[in-house]
């Protein structure tokens, strides 16, 4: 894989890192990308454990609107993190969930929308609970066919990135 964008995490000398099971986020200066790298490291731990050595092609992630995850950035950082690791070549698919609140006073339920107003649109009440939009989980893995197209989570050689 050719890295076409500079990411803060890649400032660490780019020598042979093939022995690293997973590339951890390193020093940087720009927050957003580092945040997603940190998240990707947590996802990689889950994927490696659950795949139990099987090759993985797709990681399905569900992310609520309130989790401050930028799907494109997550996908990009996943590529960086997995490069030269057993998970190289796998990709993340993000399912976004809109934020939704329910009013405890009148029971009205509605999406929060793009403008983050956490008050009831029905009665104006402020005693609301968030019923959706805070999810953040790995929902499933799609395993690769055993043809070498995917990647093996327990392989020490990686898939060439």
Partner 1 sequence: MGRFHRHDDGTAHAHDGDGAHSHGRPDAEPGAAPDHSGYQTGAERVEVLEAIFGENDRTAAANRAAFAAAGVRAVNLMSSPGAGKTTLLRETLARLAGELRIGIIEGDIETSLDADRLAGFGAAIALINTGNGFGGECHLDAPMVASALPRLPLPELDLVLIENVGNLVCPAEFDVGQDARAMVYAITEGEEKPLKYPVMFRSCELVVVNKMDLLPHLGFDLDEFLGNLRKVNPAADVILASARTGDGVDAWCDWLRARR
Provide the binding-site residues for partner 1, judged by CB under 8 A: 9, 24-28, 31-32, 34-35, 37-39, 41-43, 45-46, 49-52, 54, 57, 61-62, 64, 66-68, 104, 115-119, 126-132, 134-146
Strand order from edge to edge, sheet including 100-103: 109-111, 100-103, 128-132
C-alpha–C-alpha distance, residues 75 and 6, integer Å: 15
Q: With respect to partner 1, which residue has the nearer C-beta, 2 or 29?
A: 29
Shortest distance, CB of residue 160 to partner 1, whole angstroms?
A: 20
Q: With respect to partner 1, which residue has the nearer C-beta, 3 or 143?
A: 143
Burial readout 135-148 (b: 16 or more C-beta within 10 A, e: otherwise): bbeeeebeebeeee
Shortest distance, CB of residue 121 to partner 1, whole angstroms?
A: 12
Shortest distance, CB of residue 16 to partner 1, whole angstroms?
A: 22
Q: With respect to partner 1, which residue has the nearer C-beta, 2 or 41?
A: 41
Shortest distance, CB of residue 117 to partner 1, whole angstroms?
A: 5
Q: With respect to partner 1, which residue has the nearer C-beta, 32 or 160?
A: 32
Listed residue (156, 26, 14) closest to 87, CA to CA: 156
C-alpha–C-alpha distance, residues 75 and 82, integer Å: 11
Task: Report helix, strand or coil for 138.
Answer: strand
Cβ atoms of residues 137 and 46 within 8 Å: no
């Amino acid at each position: 894989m050719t890295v076409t964008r500079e990411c803060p995490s890649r400032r660490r000398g780019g020598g042979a890192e093939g022995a690293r099971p997973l590339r951890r986020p390193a020093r940087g200066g720009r927050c957003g990308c580092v945040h997603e790298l940190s998240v990707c490291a947590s996802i990689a731990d889950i994927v490696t454990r659950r795949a139990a050595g099987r090759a993985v092609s797709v990681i399905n992630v569900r992310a609520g609107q309130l989790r401050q995850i930028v799907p494109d950035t997550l996908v990009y950082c996943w590529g960086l993190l997995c490069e030269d690791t057993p998970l190289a070549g796998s990709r993340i698919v993000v399912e976004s969930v809109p934020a939704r609140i329910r009013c405890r006073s009148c029971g009205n339920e509605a999406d929060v929308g793009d403008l983050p107003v956490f008050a009831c649109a029905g009665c104006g009440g402020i005693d609301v609970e968030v019923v959706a939009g805070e999810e953040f989980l790995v929902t499933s893995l799609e395993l690769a066919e055993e043809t070498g197209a995917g990647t093996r989570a327990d392989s020490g050689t990686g898939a060439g990135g």
